[in-house]
Structures are given as C-alpha cells and as structure tokens.
Chains A and B, each alone.
Chain A
Amino acid sequence: MTETADNFDEMYDAEGGIRSGYAEYCNWYAEQEAGYLRRKDKDAEGSFRRTGITFNVYGEDDAEERLIPFDMVPRIITAPEWRRLTRGIEQRVSALNAFIHDLYHRQEILRAGRVPKRLFRQNEAWLPHMVGLTPPGGVYTHIVGIDLVRTGPDDFFVLEDNARTPSGVSYMLENRETMMAMYPELFTRVPVATVSDYPRRLAKSLAACAPDCAEGKPNVAVLTPGIYNSAYYEHAFLADQMGAELVEGTDLRVVGGRVQMRTTRGFEPVDVLYRRVDDEFLDPLTFNPESVLGVPGIMDVYRSGGITIANAPGTGIADDKAIYSFMPDIVEFYTGEKPLLPNVETWRCADEDSLKYVLDNLDELVVKEVHGSGGYGMLIGPTASKKEIREFREKLVEKPENYIAQPTLSLSTCPIFTRTGLAPRHVDLRPFVLVSPEGVDITPGGLTRVALKKGSLVVNSSQGGGTKDTWVLKD
C-alpha cells in the first residue's frame, strides 16, 4: 500500500508500520470493503453540492461554481504534537500583534536595526492612516491562519503567516460534518477533538474586542464583497453560524459618527465589523475611490474609536513574504524567547549575495513573489522546464526585490483514497487562531490542504489541490 519515498509519511513509518495516531483508523479501514468506500467517496461530492459549499474561480467565463475536492482519509495529529504546535503558534501570533503595534507606533524594532527600514518605505501593505492608532483592545490580528508544513516527526515549519483575512475555516467545519455523516462509527472509535464550536469562539472573541461605545451585547457583522465573491459561501456560513448580520458595503453608512447598517427598523450601529474585503476597498474616501465594496468614511469612524475592524487595516505589513524572513528575529525581539516554530530557510533576493546564490541554484529552489498568493507567480525549480527557469531568471534579475527563495522542502505526505487504494500525497496545515484581549484561542484542528497529483507540492485549491478533515486526538 505504501510507496517508498524519501519524505516523511504521517501514516506509515520507514518500515511500513503504522504510526500510533493512525492505528485505530487503519484498523477501521482494513475492515471496510473497497467497493463500499468507493461508493461513499462519490456520496461525499453530492453532499457538498447540496450544501452549496462551492467557490467561484476568478477569470472563468461560465461562472460555474466549483467544489474543492475532498479526500476521505483524515489527517491525524496526536495530542502531544498538537500541544507543541499550539505553544509555537501562540508565541508567533503574540509576536505578530506586538510587531504591528510597534510598527505603527514607536518602531523600536527598526531603531534597534533588527528589521531594515527599506522594507516599509515602499510597501503597499503599509498604511500611514494607522500610525499612532491603537485598535480597541489593542488587537490587530483577530483571526490568523498560520500555514505549517512538516518534514519529520518533530519538524514543523511555518511556511506563511496569514494576518489579513485568512479563509478556509468553513472547510475545516464542513469537512468534519461530512466525515461525521459518512462514517459516524469512526468517531466512536477514535477520540477526535471537536472543531464545531469555532463559530461560537469566533463570536465571543470578536465581541470581546468591541469598542467602548458599544452598548449591551455588541453588534457583530460580517462584511462580504457579495454573492459573486469566491469565498461568499464562507462569509454567509460564518455569519449564519455566529448569528451575526451578513452585510455588503451598500448596507452600511456612516450616520452620527458611527457605522450603521440599514435594517428594517432603520439604521443600527455596528460595533464589530469582521470584514472580508481587502484594505484598499474598505473606504473609498481613504483608499481606492472606485471601490463600491466598502463604506465611505469608515476610516474616520475607526480612528475615532467608533468601530472595531477585524482584522485591523494595515496588518498586511506583517504577512508580507519579505517580512516573513525576519520572523525569527521578530519573535525573539518581542517575546524574548527563541522561536518555538522555525521558519523555512529563506533567501531574500534583494540581498546581493543571496541573489547570486539563488541564481546559481534555481533548479533546486522554490522562488516566490513577495506579494503573491494562491500559488501563482512562483517557480518550483526541480519540476520546472529549462525554458521556464530561463524566463524566470530574467524576471528575477530585473526585479530581485520582488522575490524570495526557499529550498524545496521534502514535505510530509499523508495518504489519500484513490480507486486503487491509498496513495501518499503532500499536505500542509492551516490552523485558525483567534486573538482577543482575553487571550489567544486555537481551535484543535485546521484546514489540511493536499496536492492531489502524485509528487506535486502545490496544495492550493486554485491549482487543483484538495482538502482533508484534520483530526487532533484527545489525550
């Protein structure tokens, strides 16, 4: 059932034995008939379609809604592994918040010379409007997604910090619902920590960040760009699960110094706005004047303390890929501790020496755009053709500061279900982290993305990746 590979497999050890976390699952699996599992696999797609958990792909003519493929084999993390991860994540997220606060205030870290000033001068994610402003509760990143990869039993690395508007949490929740509906018996056999209270935790965490002017129970609303947005399902899902209003820019207006929503009774103030639109569309008076997705004047209300915006505008400065390479220093600077979760080794192409190294080793490295996301605009050296490498080299030489490079990691694999049985595929993990004045809250689970093509390292859903249910085991 296993294929020999150099990388770490999360289910099987090097001798083909089953690792402890997967033992009971594998017992169950061995008892199932292949035909039964294949039928179940088909049912899963129907179930997702009926629920409507689809996404729209940008740039496709026939605005068809697509499903992110779901794999029925869970990705399992043991309780001790999870405890270690949560300590590292808490440390990292606390540092991120302290870092953003510092950047928009005294900039101690720049004065100390630990991060170069040039990174901020022309960075689009830097918002001068945030200078000197402290958001309600002092929280910048209310919701963070930390992307992790694994290369060995104890070797987890942070691949990326998502400090703007991380998405995918609805998949964490729906994947679990689907697994519980399809294989209820598994959950009586394996002690899996629950994820279903994430929306309640989110609502609580957001309410705890309400501004002082909020009266009684804070009014929380989710701001969506609308039903044609690729992540609309998630916006509606979260609003529904939290019991919050789902608003669009046209529902909101600044009235009497507050952001208010047009209800059937008239205008009612919004205390906490969980926005799923990017900074530049948030306020046409301050940012992109063409934007119809935002609320004219919301930044003035924000500056006067009349509303909490989650995440705060300008947090993107902390999840920029160029900043990423400084995260170990950043963690140390604000927490006084060594980072518990290491970064992936990163070469900043803006540095001359690094650039030389990267150019000499393009066929072995992964090169990414500093501001890119979604797996676009990157070069994966080992699998790229000579022509692709040649073309990328030209772009790199022309604008080296736009790129960073990382070694091609030997990412861990976890088996997926195929017509011919289990087959290993590369995975990553995005746990979802909530931050409020009451502390950092991490739901035990997350979004496991899986590359469905054999050997592929790209897990992004926009590029053919799928998802798995992620199980954190209880002690």
Chain B
Amino acid sequence: MLGRTANSLFWMFRHLERAENTARLLEAGFRMALTRDVATAEEEWRSVIEAMGLRETYEAHNGTYTGQQAWNFILREKDNPGSVMQMIDHVRTNARAARNAISGELWTSINTSWMEIRALLKRPVSQGHVGEAAEMIRRAGMLAHGAMAGSMLRNEGFHFARVGTFVERADAIARILDMKYYLLLPSLSYVGTSMDTGQWDQVLRSVSGDRAYRWLNAGQIDARGIVEFLVLDDRFPRSLAFCHSALRQNLAALARIHGEEGESNALMRDADTRLHDLTIEEIFDIGLHEFLIDFMARNAAIANAVAEDYRFLA
C-alpha cells in the first residue's frame, strides 16, 4: 500500500472519530445547559468549547456563550477548523483519496452520511434540531465502522484505520478528563462536600459512558470510581485502557504483516507497561493532571512514530 494512502486512511478515521466525539460532547453539554439557569448554562457552553480546544477561535468570533452561538459554531462555523462539518469534509476527502483502498460499502456509507450531514448543516441549526444533528453524526460513525467490519480486508489498510480511530479516541478522552480534573479530585468526595453529582454525570455523558458506569457500579457515583472507569477499565470501549489495548493489537498486526517492529511498537510497549502497572491510587498520587499530560504526550508520540514507520509522508 502507498504511504500516502495509509496516511489518508489514518486521518479519515481520526477525523471521523473526532467528529463523533464532538457530537457526544455537544449532546452532553446541550443537555446540561437545559437544566441550568442562563448564567450557568453559558458557563457550561464555555467549558464544552474549551474541552474541544476551540476557545480562542470561538472568542475571536463571539462575545458571548449563548447555546445558539455555541452549537452552531461547533457544528457548522466556516471559520472553525474544528467544526463537525469541516471534519466530515475531511473524512470524505480522505476517503476519496484512499478510494481504492476501502470497500465500496465503506465509501458509500461515508458519502451518504456526508450528503445528509451537509444538507442538515447548510442552514443554522435551531434548538429543536441539535439532537438530530448529533445523532446523525454518531450514526455516520457507526455506519462507517459497521461497513468496515463487514466488508474490508484485514490487511494493513484496516489496521491504519483502526490506529487512527484509537489514537484519536484516547486523546479525546484524556482531554475531557483533564478539563474536568478539578471535579474529579477524590479529596472532595472524601470530605463529603455536597459535590454536584450532575457534574460527574456530565463527565460520563461526554463520553457516552453514563449508562455503562451505572451498570457496573450499581448507581454508586464518586470521583474515584469515574476516573478508574474511564482510565483503567478495559471493558468500556471509551476508556484509555481499552483504546491502548486496541492500539497495541493493531500495531502488533502491522508489525506482523511487515515482518518487523518499528519505533511505534517500542513506544506502545512503554506506554502499555506504564498504564498496566498503575493503580487508581497511584494515579491520584502522581496527580491526575500530570498523569493525563504524560498519557497524551505518549499517545501523540505513538501516532508520529506510526507515520514515520510506515512512510506516510514523502
């Protein structure tokens, strides 16, 4: 496979994952804002925009954080390089560039979703349609992953796509956790502060993990439990441990196909050992923020090494 094609597959799925994560974050923020007074709602939108790393771009365009402004900025603002529309455009552009490396079913699923999303986001989105937009984006992801699972050869292209997915997902989860880390310091729950459980719920909803968490923890909600769930519980597909386990498998498959390991496999092993050996107590001892910064740096280094190992660029 061409290095450029591998690069397209990687970024196609990174952007798809990013669009999907954005939609989940948006849904959670939207729901949260609904249950707040105006001032708190604005605060909520600010934190959603911040979690997406878009605060500067946003404030260059908007003076206030009304819901209407915020979700339109997130979904469709032309000057926002991180808008859902731009990401879906990138997904399709990369799919077109890698057209002969993906199955017809996968291409059609991407192209059809792109057409639907584009039609919906042509005009500003009213409050009544935010949910529909977010769902459409999540469905685009499901369709693409389903089409891939059911129709693509398990060759290197498949693994590059998966690597893109899990590098992006791990990064997004770590970023959300880091944004909210002050809510997740165990000291607060230890001392029994009347912490807003709604805020914790919000963290879980941002990664669509609220129901899975309740299922596993019988309704017991506390900061330690949430962090342990999102960082170390490899049963949950949006936990850091799950992402890295998937990433390790795909990188191992690539090494097998190519008959040799690269820098990416070595970095992966380091990151793996690190995560595997840690308990939740140790993470809080290191400091949640420090732990997450280190995790994101390792994650990014793995992505760079993959691009290098497999000659993504000339």
B:1-43 near A, CB below 8 Å: 1-6
- Cα–Cα, bound, A246→B101 (Å): 9
Which of A45-53, A145-153, A300-308, A327-335 lies at the interface with chain B? A45-53
Is A420 interfacial (CB 8 A cutoff)? no
Contacts A50-B108, A50-B111, A246-B99 given; indicate if A266 touches B311 (C-beta within 8 A).
yes
Is A144 interfacial (CB 8 A cutoff)? no
- Interface bits B271-286 vs A (CB < 8 Å: 1, else 0): 0000000000000000
Whether the Cβ atoms of B100 and A262 lie closer than 8 Å is no
Q: Give the residues in chain B near A263, CB-CB below 8 Å.
A: 1-3, 311
Out of B1, B99, B108, B111, name the residue touching A264 (CB < 8 Å): B1
Whether the Cβ atoms of B115 and A49 lie closer than 8 Å is yes
Is A120 interfacial (CB 8 A cutoff)? no
The smallest C-beta distance from A448 to any residue of chain B, in angstroms, reads 25
Is B191 interfacial (CB 8 A cutoff)? no
Would you call the interface of chain B mostly helix, strand, loop, or mixed?
A: helix
Out of B2, B96, B115, B314, name the residue touching A247 (CB < 8 Å): B2
Whether the Cβ atoms of B2 and A251 lie closer than 8 Å is yes
The smallest C-beta distance from A221 to any residue of chain B, in angstroms, reads 9
Is B107 interfacial (CB 8 A cutoff)? yes
In the complex, how many residues of chain B place their beta carbon closer than 8 angstroms to a beta carbon of chain A? Answer: 22
Interface size grouping (class) on chain A:
20 to 34
Whether the Cβ atoms of B115 and A262 lie closer than 8 Å is no
Closest to A264 in B: B310
Is A358 interfacial (CB 8 A cutoff)? no
Whether the Cβ atoms of B2 and A261 lie closer than 8 Å is yes
Our count of residue pairs bridging A and B at CB distance below 8 angstroms stands at: 62
Out of B96, B97, B100, name the residue touching A52 (CB < 8 Å): B96
Contacts A232-B96, A262-B2, A263-B3 given; indicate if A250 touches B314 (C-beta within 8 A).
yes
Whether the Cβ atoms of A50 and B112 lie closer than 8 Å is yes
Whether the Cβ atoms of A264 and B3 lie closer than 8 Å is yes
Whether the Cβ atoms of B99 and A240 lie closer than 8 Å is yes
- Interface bits B69-86 vs A (CB < 8 Å: 1, else 0): 000000000000000000
The smallest C-beta distance from B46 to any residue of chain A, in angstroms, reads 34
- Cα–Cα, bound, A336→B228 (Å): 86
Is B258 interfacial (CB 8 A cutoff)? yes
Q: Give the residues in chain B near A247, CB-CB below 8 Å.
A: 2
Is B93 interfacial (CB 8 A cutoff)? yes
Whether the Cβ atoms of A264 and B311 lie closer than 8 Å is yes
Contacts A232-B96, A264-B258, A264-B311 given; indicate if A50 touches B3 (C-beta within 8 A).
no
Is B156 interfacial (CB 8 A cutoff)? yes
Whether the Cβ atoms of B311 and A262 lie closer than 8 Å is yes
The smallest C-beta distance from A369 to any residue of chain B, in angstroms, reads 33
Q: Give the residues in chain A near B112, CB-CB below 8 Å.
A: 50
Contacts A227-B97, A247-B2, A248-B4 given; indicate if A51 touches B311 (C-beta within 8 A).
no
A:221-251 near B, CB below 8 Å: 227, 232, 236-237, 239-240, 244-248, 250-251
Closest to B108 in A: A50
Q: Give the residues in chain B near A246, CB-CB below 8 Å.
A: 2, 5, 99-100
Is A265 interfacial (CB 8 A cutoff)? yes
Out of A236, A240, A251, A266, name the residue touching B4 (CB < 8 Å): A251
Closest to B312 in A: A264
Q: Give the residues in chain B near A265, CB-CB below 8 Å.
A: 258
Q: Give the residues in chain A near B1, CB-CB below 8 Å.
A: 245, 263-264
Residue among A244, A246, A248 with the highest chain B CB neighbour number at 10 A: A246
- Cα–Cα, bound, A334→B3 (Å): 46
- Cα–Cα, bound, A434→B24 (Å): 52
Closest to B3 in A: A262
The smallest C-beta distance from B59 to any residue of chain A, in angstroms, reads 29
Whether the Cβ atoms of A52 and B111 lie closer than 8 Å is yes
Whether the Cβ atoms of A262 and B107 lie closer than 8 Å is no
Closest to B111 in A: A52
Closest to B310 in A: A264
- Cα–Cα, bound, A250→B100 (Å): 17
The smallest C-beta distance from B1 to any residue of chain A, in angstroms, reads 5
- Interface bits A250-269 vs B (CB < 8 Å: 1, else 0): 11000000000111111000
Contacts A236-B100, A240-B99, A246-B99 given; indicate if A262 touches B4 (C-beta within 8 A).
yes
- Cα–Cα, bound, A232→B314 (Å): 22
Residue among A236, A247, A264 with the highest chain B CB neighbour number at 10 A: A264
Q: Give the residues in chain B near A52, CB-CB below 8 Å.
A: 96, 107-108, 111
- Cα–Cα, bound, A248→B7 (Å): 14
The smallest C-beta distance from A365 to any residue of chain B, in angstroms, reads 43
- Cα–Cα, bound, A261→B6 (Å): 13
B:265-314 near A, CB below 8 Å: 310-311, 314
Q: Give the residues in chain A near B97, CB-CB below 8 Å.
A: 227
- Cα–Cα, bound, A263→B157 (Å): 12
- Interface bits B84-124 vs A (CB < 8 Å: 1, else 0): 00000000010011011000100110011001000000000
The smallest C-beta distance from A406 to any residue of chain B, in angstroms, reads 39
Contacts A262-B3, A262-B311 given; indicate if A245 touches B100 (C-beta within 8 A).
yes
Whether the Cβ atoms of B99 and A236 lie closer than 8 Å is yes
Contacts A51-B108, A264-B258 given; indicate if A227 touches B2 (C-beta within 8 A).
no
Q: Give the residues in chain B near A49, CB-CB below 8 Å.
A: 111, 115
- Cα–Cα, bound, A264→B258 (Å): 9
The smallest C-beta distance from A227 to any residue of chain B, in angstroms, reads 5
Q: Give the residues in chain B near A232, CB-CB below 8 Å.
A: 96
The smallest C-beta distance from B159 to any residue of chain A, in angstroms, reads 10
Whether the Cβ atoms of B2 and A245 lie closer than 8 Å is yes
Whether the Cβ atoms of A236 and B96 lie closer than 8 Å is yes
A:333-364 near B, CB below 8 Å: none
Closest to B97 in A: A227
The smallest C-beta distance from A372 to any residue of chain B, in angstroms, reads 30
- Cα–Cα, bound, A263→B6 (Å): 9
Known: A227-B97, A262-B314. 19 other contacts (CB 8 A): A49-B111, A49-B115, A50-B112, A51-B108, A52-B96, A52-B111, A236-B96, A244-B100, A245-B2, A246-B2, A247-B2, A250-B4, A251-B4, A261-B2, A262-B311, A263-B1, A264-B2, A264-B156, A264-B310
Which residues of A approach B to under 8 Å, CB–CB?
49-52, 227, 232, 236-237, 239-240, 244-248, 250-251, 261-266
The 10 closest A-B pairs by CB, nearest first: A236-B99, A240-B100, A264-B310, A239-B100, A52-B111, A246-B100, A262-B3, A227-B96, A264-B6, A50-B112
17 contacts between A and B (CB under 8 A): A49-B115, A50-B115, A51-B108, A52-B96, A232-B96, A239-B100, A245-B5, A248-B4, A251-B2, A262-B2, A263-B1, A263-B2, A263-B3, A264-B3, A264-B6, A264-B310, A266-B311
